[in-house]
Structures are given as C-alpha cells and as structure tokens.
Amino acid sequence: MMCGGSSAVQDATPEVQTMCDELKPNVEGLAEKKFDVFTAKSFMTQVVAGTNFFIKVHVGGDDYVHMRVHKPLPHTAEKISLHGIKACKAHHDALAYF
C-alpha cells in the first residue's frame, strides 16, 4: 500500500476492537445515543502521518456506525482520536474514506 492509499477491507482485529472500546463514549456523544452493542466487524487503513482507520461497528439490530480513527506515529506519544462517524449505516454499506 502506498502512502495516502487505502488498504483492502479486513476483518476486525483485537487491536481495532480496543480502539473502538476506547472511543465508544465519543461515538455515543456524536450519535446522541447509547449503544448496548459495540462490536468492530471490519476495517481498512490509510497511511498518512500516522494511520487512519475506517471501522465498521455493529451497534445492535441491523444498525452499524462507520468510524474514522487516527492513530498517530509512535514517536509522538499522542493518543488515538476520533475524526468522525457516519451513523445510520447497514451491514451491506461499504467502508469508504470520509
């Protein structure tokens, strides 16, 4: 993968689920609702000054949220941050840059 290009969509990993768990309160704030279910299903990445993660998260029933998470380069010692969400998504909705 080249810098700035997106990876193929992959099944979620434990690392991706950990990022989702950490940022769940932020997502709930933006979505203005609480989620009993918050399970990462798939993701793709984009290499920038760090890595952008685009993550499809199951939030219960037929509902999904897409998250954009930035993971800074290790030497910066900065924390991951939520850069946006797309709510009202479904299982069949493809992950895409936003």
Domain of 24? 10-89
CB atoms under 10 Å from CB of 58, counted, come to 19
Residue 1: pLDDT band (50, 70, 90) is very low
How many structural domains comprise the chain? 1
Let me know if residue 61 belongs to a domain: yes
pLDDT digits 0-9 by tens, 62-77: 999 999 999 998 888 8
Of the candidates 96, 43, 45, the residue with the CA atom closest to the CA atom of residue 71: 45
Q: Is the pTM of this model over 0.85?
A: yes
Distance CA 67, CA 70 (A): 10
Let me know if residue 60 belongs to a domain: yes
Let me know if residue 62 belongs to a domain: yes
Q: What is the CATH number of the domain that holds 22?
A: 3.10.450
Q: Are 39 and 17 in contact (CB under 8 A)?
A: yes
